[in-house]
Structure 1
Amino acid sequence: MKRKRIPNKKWAAPVLGLALVLPAALPAQAATPAQAAVKSIEFVGMNAPAGAQQMAQVYTGASVKVTYGDGTVKTFPLAYKQLFKSTDSVGGTIAGVSVDANGKPIMDTSAPNNPVPYVSDAPDANSLFQVPGMSPTSLGGNPLSLVTHYEYITSNNAGDSAYGLVPASMSLTKIDQNKTTGELTPVELQKVDFSGVDGLWIPCNGSLTPWNTHLGSEEYEADARAYEADPTQTYLSSFVQNYYQDTTKKGNPYDYNYIVEVSVDQDNKASAVKHYSLGRFSHELAKVAPDGKTVYFGDDGGNTMLFMYVADKAQDLSAGTLYAAKWIQTSAANGGSANLEWISLGHATDDEIRAEIDKGLTFSDIFETSDKPADGFATIKTYPSGKTEYLKLKPGMEKAAAFLESRRYAAMLGATSEFNKMEGVTLNAKDKKAYIAMSYVEKSMEKDSKGADPVDDIHVDKISSGVTYELSLGGGQKDRSGEAIASDYVPQTMKGLLWGEDLSAPDAKGDTAADDKVANPDNLSYSEQLRTLFIGEDSGMHANNYVWAYNIDTGKLSRILSTPSGAEATGLQAVEDLNGFSYVMSNLQHPGDEMIVPDPLKTEVLNNIDANFNNRKSGVVGYVSGIPSMEQIAAAAPEESGGGQISSPADDSLIPLRDTAQAAGAKVDWHGKNKEVVVTKGTHTLRLNVGEKTALLDGKSVSLPVVTQFSKGKVMFPSGVWDQFAKL
């Protein structure tokens, strides 16, 4: 995501409306009194920072306002909680330290007589989750796991750029969740070992899979064509020599730029694999649909592409089919809109592609090249070269091209390669929508008025401040060749949902995009319960980057977090009802970098940032607290508001709880250590333990006619109680 490190990129920003009102998770017009208990949920936004002190802080002044059916109002104030700075030591390990293949810190020797470890100032993706069976923390709370990316190191100790030259990293932090307050406290931290997969290349954003693993990323791939011609034209040699602490190491560009899956076991140990069959390009992140098979990607850079992967088996990303989209434009306004046609690049397994890499393949083993148009050569223009190329596939190299040179091969087949700065991706499962952030809608996405490019599929109106797009998903789709696509979550259309407002001249803080709207959207995360799209900025057009909450039903927008000037808002993750508490994970990286604030205000802001963030060497890992879970909203409801009630029924027959609840659209969480089941349906939560004859409905005790029990590996629950709960 880092702006200035990527050649030929102009960095600008998007924009959108302020104070946000969210409709009730259970709308007021619902039939039963219990459903009418919550009338509306509103994010009350905060003002933009005023003055040098606020501009140098990470903070929130926002709140959540819940209005119940009887008019009673409950306000939940939000707060930003810092877990740790990237320069902090947690349990004896520096959070953002860069480590070599042996797990030892990589030393920065740029300042004579003062060797220090390289430490990242750029924490990025977060995945906070609970692993069943993990032992309690020393603080006595619920044990949680947090995987965090450290995208790069901005500069070395002498002040020179270190971007891409030093291997990046991830950390796994054991978190204590206070059982009463929900407060999160880091207990111990370890670096994730990537020595089995050749190290980790520039990990940008990430996501949590439906099966509770973390999907990381490797973006801004080294151009294998450029590397073969002159290895000094890429970061690769420096990267591998630092990682292996071996100055003779050459490196292979095809070892990098894949999706990385990190699994955590009940002993809080992490293991990592790279999924080569998901294709090689500038992976911003991967997001998995509810089917556990369909995967969507961000592809960061200029002249990039929209890819989709459909795995052969649910919850197994080791084999599948890779697709690329053709944009068939229907409108140029407000980011544009289009129908999407999908082109199959082929099927592969991770092992097949790894075997191709191990052969030592080079770019020239896959393609013939020409320096001008020629018979049999396709004319394309894609990232990372950004130049018009004339390529011909060598015989038998289809699979290698599809998965090692995914963008070039897809362009040769006719897929659209004109997207610009395609960043975050998230999903709205209920409405079958995906959302994608295009940070800067300009350059290759504008009309090719000179007729210089090979194709001009995308020719939309320029919005330098960017657009967040909505994609409609569906089943029964076929690819361009007429073959059925084995997914019910195939994007069919794409249109602008939120777009920025570019200013004709900078304002007093240096903003070149309207400050009360989103500018340059990047991280995205969606709350199913709150019907809210959270948006984090990476803007070169806002003096301060913000996190926003956008209600997809009302179209209202609220600013809920401000980061220090020059910092990017990263690590965005909406976490819902985790042991009865909800959070929005949100980090910041490189505070004070690339500031657009004019002097003399800039000097004052920088002085404050230096004091707050270790002379601009520290990024921050943290979260927005105070966002109410559905359980907390229900528990705070007044008695007269129509909250759900369950009597003790005579029917003591038992039903399989998970199967029944999921069929009714409820969410089911199993906490194995204490044999607890949590069922969430709308604003109502049912908690029960196997072997007990009571349950908690929205925090209140309910007697059961018979104990909950295990039978043939399933939790069996009284059907009469379930029937009443399902009607609430």
Structure 2
Amino acid sequence: MTFQLNGKGRLMLAMISAMLLAACDGDDGNDGTDGAQGPAGPQGPAGPAGPEGPAGQDGSDGASGEGGGNASLMTPGLTRLATVPAGAEVTGAYVTEWGDLFFNVQHPSDANTATDSEGKMFNHGTVGVLAGVNINKLPKNLVSVGVPQTQQERETVQVAYGEYQVIAQTMDTFGGAMPEGLGTVLATDKSTVVASIDDPDFNGFISTGDNEGYLFTNWESIPGAMSRLKLNKDASTGYWSVDSTDVQMLDFGTYGTIANCFGSVSPWSTPLTSEEWGNQGDDTQEWNDPSMQTARDMLAMYIDPTATDADGASSFPNTYRYHYIVEITDPLSDNPVPVKHYTMGRYEHENSIVMPDSKTVYLSQDDTNGVLFKFVADVAGDLSAGTLYGAKLTQDAGSFEPLTTGFDVEWIELAHSDNATIDGWIADFDGITTADFVEGQSNYLTDADAEAWAAGEANYPSVANGGGSTTAGMAMDDRIAFLESRKAARAKGATAEWRKFEGIYVNHKRAEEAVEGTDLIAGEAVNQAYVYFAIADMDNGMVDNEGDIQLSPRVKECGGVYRMPLLTGANAYDVNRIEPVVMGSTYRSTLDGAERCDVNALSQPDNVIVLDDGRIVIGEDGFQENNTLWMYDPTVNE
């Protein structure tokens, strides 16, 4: 991912790049070419009209280029709905109640110079919509848009249906209504620019009436951001417009957010944004290590615009104040209020999805050796208190092929708490700075703390026994479950082996009809609904022949999509099974021997959404020069 940082933020560019799990840009291949014709057979002996010898056989076909070109078949059930410009990944897929499909062009190459039919150039982050088509009404039999070949095709958005309409791009000012520009993050003084972000991610649309509403968009950087644009659609033409009198970048308060990635909209119509990368993962002790480059300096410049680093700021950033699900409450008011829900755990959140019961939430951790989490709220519609769980997997016996191997799921209870209690635990770490760092020790919670908690010890371990200095010797509590959720889940026996666990999603209408019997899907009786999720990179802990997940490395970096059948009855909206749905297809390049993902199959699926008819839309963050927005019909291969 590419970032454009202003002012003091430029000093941190190298640090941010090192922390970010960046997508690799690959090149689409050309069609394979025929080999040279074989030599003609020998001329017959001299004589009157002697016959020529037989012609030699044609040579074999040449090898296809990287990406496969047209030399491979499209995975059955896949339709290439759109491709995005060179250098970009597909983000922000969201479908409105009217079937409008929003999606974004994240960090396209700044070398792109071609323009689309409306004169738009795609060398900056772009928020857009597939205009003129109801995505829920597309027929079953579809054709794909082609793999881009010309410069114009490679550097613009290509679609199979409708028209990609640009809603806004990075640094748009909307006639001066947003003078600092779309995607800009201001420090707490509301005037100092900390970052200008080229990475739009999640979109969520909140309707305010027929063909109108607010589009909320995440901007993924350090610090993170979210915009809100008032949109109107012309019912006769199908095109959208921005109401420039009602646009804003949201205020995330004293501490801000970090790496706002994907998200969702709750059943009660509030956006849920996710704080993803930028922490130290399992190595929290590095956060205040003066020899390490971390996100603390960028966050310090947000908190205190006079600072040049964390040590010089009025408040040293506390890592435990970041990496949560943030709910945008009162989203239609002049000043929406962000609320961090510590209750759903602290880790690299890709996104969360709330079930129609407004209590059960499934959450993905986008990191190496991540965990699948579940949260159950005490009260429907209130995420401020509840119980956090981690998933323990049992792989199908005797099976390791990714396309056919599933897992049984057992939920391990971690702890119950509420935002207010957890906020008090977080505050215990507010005063820590680099001056407190001691080599070989930690000022934060440790694996030894997690193990003592899981074992039911009465007190936190001493520093000499591996405990963190802040809690050493204190009476045991449940803070580790919410501040170091992966450590806690692993200590309790949950599976911590997922690699790049991306978007997780359910179609609320299908889920409610299947679980509760409510007739919400016209023309179809929905008896089974699923929670879908994408794994962008099936590597490391998933293919190391150790632990609970032991898959073949055949798919590896190409990734795939899984689903979890929803249960009914007393266990409504629970899940106990994970099934594979569709996988990428790895092949070995004849050019350099490296593994590549075929252009006609998945290449690192990032996020997935579910349409009313059960088909799914998948956005790529992969190796191709032009990543794809796919539609997949799961019934094709059932």
Structure 1 position 357, deviation (Å): 1.1
How far, CA to CA, are the matches of 1:349 and 1:408 in structure 2? 19
With normalisation by structure 1, the TM-score equals: 0.59
Which residue in 2 is equivalent to 1:412? 491
How far, CA to CA, are the matches of 1:348 and 1:254 in structure 2? 16
How far, CA to CA, are the matches of 2:145 and 2:80 in structure 1? 13
Does residue 460 (structure 1) correspond to residue 560 (structure 2)? The answer is: no
How far, CA to CA, are the matches of 2:424 and 2:320 in structure 1? 11
| Cα separation, partners in 2 of 1:543 and 1:376, compared to 1, 3 Å | same
Task: Show CA shifts across 1:230-270 (max 9, x none).
Answer: 47442113322244313222110011000011134544542
Q: Secondary structure at the match of 1:424?
A: strand
Structure 1 position 183, deviation (Å): 1.9
How far, CA to CA, are the matches of 1:538 and 1:461 in structure 2? 22
The answer to whether the 8 A contact 1:258-1:280 is kept is yes
Q: Which amino acid aligns with 2:285?
A: R
Q: Secondary structure at the match of 1:503?
A: strand
The answer to whether the 8 A contact 2:502-2:536 is kept is yes
Aligned with 2:306 (options 232, 242, 246): 246
Which residue in 2 is equivalent to 1:306? 372
| Cα separation, partners in 2 of 1:280 and 1:394, compared to 1, 3 Å | farther
Which residue in 2 is equivalent to 1:434? 531
How far, CA to CA, are the matches of 1:491 and 1:403 in structure 2? 22
Which residue in 1 is equivalent to 2:234? 178
Which residue in 1 is equivalent to 2:218? 149
Aligned with 1:534 (options 605, 610, 617): 617
| Cα separation, partners in 2 of 1:391 and 1:355, compared to 1, 3 Å | closer
Greater RCO (Cα-Cα under 8 Å, separation 6 or more): 1
Structure 1 position 421, deviation (Å): 0.4
Which residue in 2 is equivalent to 1:49? 148
Task: Show CA shifts across 1:566-611 (max 9, x none).
Answer: xxxxxxxxxxxxxxxxxxxxxxxxxxxxxxxxxxxxxxxxxxxxxx
The answer to whether the 8 A contact 2:275-2:325 is kept is yes
Q: Which amino acid aligns with 1:346?
A: A
Which residue in 2 is equivalent to 1:106? 193
Which residue in 2 is equivalent to 1:97? 184
Aligned with 2:543 (options 446, 471, 475): 446
Structure 1 position 299, deviation (Å): 0.8
How far, CA to CA, are the matches of 1:358 and 1:349 in structure 2? 15
How far, CA to CA, are the matches of 1:39 and 1:129 in structure 2? 23
| Cα separation, partners in 2 of 1:17 and 1:333, compared to 1, 3 Å | same
Q: Which amino acid aligns with 2:596?
A: T
Aligned with 2:502 (options 397, 418, 423): 423
| Cα separation, partners in 2 of 1:292 and 1:503, compared to 1, 3 Å | same
Structure 1 position 143, deviation (Å): 3.3
Q: Secondary structure at the match of 1:534?
A: strand
Task: Show CA shifts across 1:121-157 (max 9, x none).
Answer: 111110012136xxxxxxxx843101111102xxxxx
The answer to whether the 8 A contact 1:145-1:268 is kept is no
| Cα separation, partners in 2 of 1:59 and 1:244, compared to 1, 3 Å | farther
Which residue in 1 is equivalent to 2:295? 235
How far, CA to CA, are the matches of 1:441 and 1:391 in structure 2? 33
Structure 1 position 351, deviation (Å): 0.9
Aligned with 2:350 (options 273, 284, 306): 284
How far, CA to CA, are the matches of 2:334 and 2:573 in structure 1? 33
The answer to whether the 8 A contact 1:526-1:534 is kept is yes
Aligned with 2:402 (options 334, 338, 355): 334
Number of residue pairs matched by the alignment: 465
Task: Show CA shifts across 1:17-37 (max 9, x none).
Answer: 465599xxxxxxxxxxxxxxx
| Cα separation, partners in 2 of 1:17 and 1:100, compared to 1, 3 Å | farther
Task: Show CA shifts across 1:418-449 (max 9, x none).
Answer: 1000001111424231111100101111134x
The answer to whether the 8 A contact 1:96-1:120 is kept is yes
How far, CA to CA, are the matches of 1:270 and 1:194 in structure 2? 9
Which residue in 1 is equivalent to 2:429? 360
Q: Which amino acid aligns with 1:339?
A: D
How far, CA to CA, are the matches of 1:222 and 1:21 in structure 2? 35
Q: Secondary structure at the match of 1:205?
A: strand
Q: Secondary structure at the match of 1:172?
A: strand
The answer to whether the 8 A contact 1:521-1:536 is kept is yes
Structure 1 position 417, deviation (Å): 0.8
Which residue in 2 is equivalent to 1:120? 197
Which residue in 2 is equivalent to 1:471? 564
Structure 1 position 80, deviation (Å): 0.7
How far, CA to CA, are the matches of 2:293 and 2:171 in structure 1? 31
Task: Show CA shifts across 1:505-530 (max 9, x none).
Answer: 0689x9921111111000111112x3
Structure 1 position 208, deviation (Å): 1.1
5 Å-filtered alignment, 1:372-391, equals none
Q: Which amino acid aligns with 1:342?
A: W
Gaps of 5+ in 1: 23-37, 64-77, 108-117, 133-140, 153-163, 380-388, 449-454, 478-486, 557-728
The answer to whether the 8 A contact 1:366-1:397 is kept is no
More strand by share: 1
Structure 1 position 82, deviation (Å): 0.6
How far, CA to CA, are the matches of 1:142 and 1:10 in structure 2? 35
Gaps of 5+ in 2: 3-15, 27-66, 68-73, 82-136, 433-440, 456-464, 515-527
Q: Which amino acid aligns with 2:409?
A: L
Q: Secondary structure at the match of 2:552?
A: coil
Q: Secondary structure at the match of 1:210?
A: coil
How far, CA to CA, are the matches of 1:271 and 1:182 in structure 2? 32
The answer to whether the 8 A contact 1:20-1:42 is kept is no
| Cα separation, partners in 2 of 1:412 and 1:39, compared to 1, 3 Å | closer
Aligned with 1:219 (options 276, 287, 303): 276
Q: Which amino acid aligns with 1:227?
A: W
The answer to whether the 8 A contact 1:17-1:517 is kept is no
Does residue 317 (structure 1) correspond to residue 383 (structure 2)? The answer is: yes
Task: Show CA shifts across 1:401-424 (max 9, x none).
Answer: 000010111111111111000001
Does residue 513 (structure 1) correspond to residue 571 (structure 2)? The answer is: no
Which residue in 2 is equivalent to 1:79? 163
Structure 1 position 377, deviation (Å): 10
Structure 1 position 84, deviation (Å): 1.0
Structure 1 position 11, deviation (Å): 5.5
Q: Secondary structure at the match of 1:411?
A: helix
How far, CA to CA, are the matches of 1:39 and 1:213 in structure 2? 28
How far, CA to CA, are the matches of 1:302 and 1:421 in structure 2? 6
The answer to whether the 8 A contact 1:21-1:551 is kept is no
Structure 1 position 179, deviation (Å): 3.0
Q: Secondary structure at the match of 2:566?
A: strand
Q: Which amino acid aligns with 2:364?
A: G
Q: Secondary structure at the match of 1:544?
A: coil
Q: Which amino acid aligns with 1:471?
A: M
The answer to whether the 8 A contact 2:328-2:337 is kept is yes
